[in-house]
């Protein structure tokens, strides 16, 4: 009974966290994801969690990721990616290439660690997609919870410094160095109303009866995709089972986004994000606090190298292709930090024209991040330099 009550609390806790973020500036600055990790860590290290909770939390983690991923993808649409072709897609391609090259270089520096291939996979996935990809890839590669928490902690700290730099100094620095040319306005509108981002205000009307009924349908569809992905995983060897299931789930989510009846359901992204917060709580609870006390400098340096090193490599590639500085910066942010941070940077650059392109390339990143991360991880695992 105690375990059942705790699991119910895990399902309800993200609502409290989102309310805190909407109500208090400090909570909003910390962010819902980090707050959920912190709450989970506090519960797990306080002695309040019963010993028998761990197996239930493991199941909760797996189900949460499997349900969240297709819901997050459901709000995107492949047809919307086509009009973004051109400079933004080329720059985003350079960003993906840059992240892959620097991640591989970082793996060479970490190759003495037995988990170096897993860290490289998570890095390539999260820095071309976002937190949903990091969560999915960590499960696919069977990354220990403590390693996942430490990696995500360093990612959060370095990414904060990165966003501040990108929204303030990066444009002027690249222009002053003559590395990239200035952006030339094209007169296009910056109407991104049709693109969903993680807006806290969007959670407020999810419980309206009619909308809740449609969301229940979307959740049922996600559960069906989860079942199909699980069955697909059962058809391969044990060590590849989780990876096949995650990739199948990603493919099904993309395909489902092309079904008008499912794609038109509003707030599926927010529902997926809410379920992802449940995952964060469960992972945090299983993390040992002592794993965060000692700084792993080589891992922190790896994260910083991938984020800032890939920016420099992408800038050099954009220079060769004669792309402008704003397009380079916005698409790099959409890869490294995902769509919610694109408006922060376009506002800092005073360039709203690139907002739709940045959000759209970020959504593409959500879709391809799992393939890239898992693919690179297994390629590095099987290759000895």
Beta bridge partners of 324: 181
Does residue 91 sit within a domain? yes
Positions in the chain whose pLDDT score sits under 70: 1-2, 51, 76-85, 186-201, 239-240, 287-293, 340, 384-385
pLDDT of residue 100: 97
Q: What is the pLDDT of residues 255-300, one digit of tens each?
A: 898 888 888 898 888 888 899 889 888 888 876 666 556 778 899 9
Cα–Cα distances (Å) from 223 to 12, 226, 368, in that order, read 20, 5, 21
What's 297-339 look like in SS3? HHHHHHHHHHHHHHHHHHHHHHHHCCCEHHHHHHHHHHHHCCH
Q: Domain for residue 64, yes or no?
A: yes
> What is the pTM for the complete model shown?
0.71
Domain contains 234: yes
The rounded distance, in Å, linking the Cα atoms of 233 and 230 is 5
**Is there a domain that residue 178 lies in?**
yes
Contacts of residue 327, defined as CB under 8 A and 6 or more positions apart, other chains included, come to 87, 88, 91, 183, 318, 354, 357
The total of structural domains in the chain comes to 1
pLDDT of 194 reads 40
Residue 228 belongs to some domain of the structure: yes
Using the structure block, give the residue that is written with the tokens 């199941």. Answer: 59
Query: Is the dihedral angle over the CA atoms 77, 248, 146, 20 positive or is it negative?
Result: positive
Domain presence at residue 188? no
- 200-229 per-position pLDDT tens digit: 667 777 878 888 899 999 999 999 999 999
Q: What range defines the domain where residue 95 resides?
A: 2-182+195-381
pLDDT in the model for residue 195: 42
Give the N- to C-terminal CA distance of the chain in Å, as an integer. 53
């Amino acid at each position: 009974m105690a375990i059942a009550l705790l699991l119910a609390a895990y399902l309800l806790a993200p609502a409290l966290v989102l309310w805190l973020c909407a109500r208090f500036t400090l909570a909003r600055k910390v962010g819902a994801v980090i707050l959920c990790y912190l709450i989970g860590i506090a519960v797990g290290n306080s002695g309040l969690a019963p010993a028998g909770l761990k197996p239930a939390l493991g199941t909760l983690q797996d189900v949460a990721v499997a349900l969240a991923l297709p819901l997050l993808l459901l709000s995107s649409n492949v047809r919307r990616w086509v009009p973004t072709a051109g400079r933004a897609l080329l720059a985003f391609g350079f960003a993906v290439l840059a992240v892959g090259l620097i991640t591989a270089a970082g793996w060479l520096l970490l190759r003495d660690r037995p988990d170096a291939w897993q860290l490289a996979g998570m890095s390539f996935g999260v820095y071309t997609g976002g937190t949903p990809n990091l969560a999915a890839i960590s499960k696919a590669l069977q990354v220990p919870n403590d390693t996942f928490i430490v990696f995500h902690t360093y990612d959060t700290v370095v990414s904060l410094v990165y966003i501040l730099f990108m929204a303030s100094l990066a444009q002027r620095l690249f222009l002053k160095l003559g590395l990239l040319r200035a952006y030339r306005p094209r007169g296009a509108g910056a109407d991104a109303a049709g693109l969903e981002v993680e807006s806290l205000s969007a959670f407020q009307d999810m419980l309206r009866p009619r909308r809740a009924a449609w969301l229940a349908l979307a959740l049922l569809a996600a559960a069906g995709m989860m079942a199909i992905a699980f069955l697909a995983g059962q058809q391969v060897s044990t060590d590849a089972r989780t990876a096949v299931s995650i990739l199948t789930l990603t493919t099904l989510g993309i395909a489902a986004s092309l079904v008008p009846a499912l794609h038109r359901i509003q707030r599926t992204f927010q529902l997926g994000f809410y379920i992802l917060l449940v995952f964060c709580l469960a992972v945090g609870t299983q993390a040992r606090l002592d794993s965060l006390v000692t700084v792993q400098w080589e891992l922190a340096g790896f994260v910083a190298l991938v984020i800032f090193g890939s920016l420099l490599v992408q800038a050099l590639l954009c220079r060769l292709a004669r792309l402008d500085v704003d397009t380079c910066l916005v698409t790099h942010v959409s890869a490294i930090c995902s769509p919610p941070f694109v408006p922060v940077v376009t506002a800092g650059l005073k360039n709203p024209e690139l907002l739709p392109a940045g959000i759209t390339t970020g959504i593409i990143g959500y879709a391809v991040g799992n393939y890239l991360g898992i693919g690179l991880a297994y390629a590095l695992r099987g290759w000895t330099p």
